[in-house]
Copies of this chain bind each other. A is one copy, B any other.
Amino acid sequence: MKADMFTQEELRNLPRKGTPQPADHTQHAFYGRDILSVDQFNREDLTYIFRVAEEMRAMVKRFGSVDLLQGKVLANLFYEPSTRTSASFMAAMQRLGGQVIPINNVQYSSVAKGESLPDTVRTLEQYADVIVLRHPEVGAAAVAARYARKPIINAGDGIGEHPTQALLDLFTIYDELGTIDGLKIAMVGDLKYGRTVHSLTKLLLLYRVEFYFVSPPILRMPETILQRVRATDQPYTETDNIHDIIREVDVLYVTRVQKERFEDLSEYEAVKDYYVVDTELMRQAKERMIVMHPFPRVGEISYAVDSDPRAAYFRQIENGMYIRMALLAAVLGKA
């Protein structure tokens, strides 16, 4: 699907979709736009989205839901299962007063009859006002966006992008620590294949931070990402042992090291414990820092850490709902 992908320049200037509305100078730039990639955001956009997400949280805490998107319908189109992301978007739309059409078993349906992604999204946009798309292939969201007249929100396209995850990660850092500039941020685990750490790193490059990339040698952060870090003159350190950096960091962003990535299992056995966060490790960490994880976890963070106030991963999940509320409201012209 490469041929249909957008350039970085195009991403920053995605065309506005939908019927033109009467002029409203308060309307922000996201109205009628697709949400495809972290590359489409600048720092001002992020500040705006985070402010709206904070408002959404305040409204949910107080009222449970609002009627901002009453009369609007979201098609939640998942070509591969993802309970967390799907449920997060559903709850976000419902708490905005909108309705959801969940489409979760696409492989069994029209698509099995051979229908193309462009036809599927052009069908669903006849019924819905916005489409959230999860697809196993890189570039699928961009293809959908080229064909759809209604906004597409990318909820993950294979090893490509998952921009709402990166936004909720960044929002959590900002929300928990009150700032992003100046922080020391460690990313731990599988940095080679981990979609979330790549996207989060790109967003963090809009700020001034110090990076610690902690991984086994065979799962290092790709050179393409490191080049982007160097291009902004932000300092970074690479290491294979979490203990080297635990005392320094403000953010410990943990991802899973998958056994399947290793050809030689003895290599896996040798390193795996370097990447487990337990209460003993947390005793070495600063008093004011946070532990994050994109979930699901499978042993990378022990359950005993859950009661540590620095464990931010469940609040991180909750923030996902507010970020998605903010984006849905924004692309539908209600934020």
- Check A321 against B126 for contact (C-beta < 8 Å): yes
Contacts A128-B91, A317-B126; A298 near B113 (Cβ below 8 A): yes
Interface-facing stretch out of A80-88, A194-202, A203-211, A277-285: A80-88
- Check B75 against A65 for contact (C-beta < 8 Å): no
- Check A103 against B126 for contact (C-beta < 8 Å): no
Q: Mark A101-115, 1 if CB is under 8 A from B, else 0.
A: 111111011111111
| Docked pose: A113 CA to B202 CA in angstroms | 27
Residues of B within 8 A of A109 (CB): 81-83
| Whole-angstrom distance between the Cβ of A205 and the nearest chain B Cβ | 28
- Check if A72 is an interface residue, CB within 8 A of chain B: yes
- Check A296 against B95 for contact (C-beta < 8 Å): no
- Check A122 against B81 for contact (C-beta < 8 Å): no
| Docked pose: A73 CA to B321 CA in angstroms | 13
- Check if A165 is an interface residue, CB within 8 A of chain B: no
- Nearest B-chain residue to A83, judged by Cβ: B109
- Check A123 against B295 for contact (C-beta < 8 Å): yes
- Check B321 against A88 for contact (C-beta < 8 Å): no
The number of chain A residues with a CB under 8 A from chain B is 53
Q: Looking at chain A's contact residues, is the secondary structure mostly helix, strand, loop, or mixed?
A: helix
Contacts A123-B295, A296-B115; A71 near B63 (Cβ below 8 A): yes
| Docked pose: A120 CA to B127 CA in angstroms | 28
Contacts A109-B82, A113-B298, A120-B83; A321 near B94 (Cβ below 8 A): no
| Whole-angstrom distance between the Cβ of A90 and the nearest chain B Cβ | 5
Question: How many chain copies does the complex carry?
Answer: 3
| Docked pose: A288 CA to B214 CA in angstroms | 65
| Docked pose: A220 CA to B320 CA in angstroms | 52
- Check A84 against B123 for contact (C-beta < 8 Å): yes
Q: Mark A122-156, 1 if CB is under 8 A from B, else 0.
A: 11101111000000000000000000000000000
> Which one of A87, A88, A101, A314 has the highest number of Cβ atoms from chain B below 10 Å of its Cβ?
A87
- Partner pick for A110 among B71, B83, B120, CB 8 A cutoff: B83
| Docked pose: A229 CA to B101 CA in angstroms | 40
Residues of B within 8 A of A70 (CB): 64-65
- Partner pick for A102 among B81, B102, B128, B129, CB 8 A cutoff: B102
- Nearest B-chain residue to A128, judged by Cβ: B91
10 contacting pairs across A/B (C-beta < 8 A): A63-B71, A65-B71, A71-B95, A83-B120, A84-B123, A87-B123, A90-B101, A114-B298, A115-B295, A126-B318
- Given A64-B72, A94-B101, A102-B102, 16 other A-B residues pairs in contact with their CB atoms under 8 A: A65-B73, A65-B99, A81-B109, A82-B109, A82-B110, A83-B106, A83-B120, A83-B123, A84-B123, A87-B101, A87-B127, A91-B127, A110-B296, A118-B303, A126-B317, A127-B317
